[in-house]
Amino acid sequence: MLAGKHILITTVQSDSHTWNLIYIQLVLEELGATVTNLGSCVPIEESVSEIESCNADLVIVSSVNGHGYYQGMGLIKHAQNLLAGRLPPFVIGGKLSTNTKMDVFIESDLVSAGYNAVFLGDDAIASFKKYLSSMSNSTAAAL
């Protein structure tokens, strides 16, 4: 489904969790993608440098420590400033805040900032897989 796609997985600089990153990597590899997983606690500069050098088709930002919203916002803004016009699609998901009542506002803010999709809540994995499916379908339609 994602054969020929190169996907970069990263997280925010304060998030030391890795199980979420490994899970996403395994899902993507099962779908045929080539994956670069930067691991935990990735500084913004390192993420942006890797985005620039690896020619990713998609950047996934995953965070489960509750700080993904603010630090994810910093990441997308920094990437836009340094890679203007060369930015691949960006998606973000996980536990992005410590207050789930704010999820609707968080999602809107992150999309307005430049994320192509935001995955939160109980249906995050299903929505993520649907997004990946649409990504592969749009590639097939372009051929």
Q: How confident is the prediction for the chain on average, in pLDDT?
A: 91
- What's the average model confidence in pLDDT over 2-12? 95
3-state secondary structure of 93: strand
Q: DSSP string of 117-142?
A: EEE-STTHHHHHHHHHHHHHHHHHHH
pLDDT in tens, 75-117: 999 999 999 888 999 999 999 999 988 988 999 999 999 999 9
| pLDDT of the residue at 140 | 40
3-state secondary structure of 73: helix
Its CATH class, for the domain covering 6-142, is alpha beta
How is residue 119 written in tokens? 């995955």
Phi, psi of 45 (to 5 degrees): -60, -40
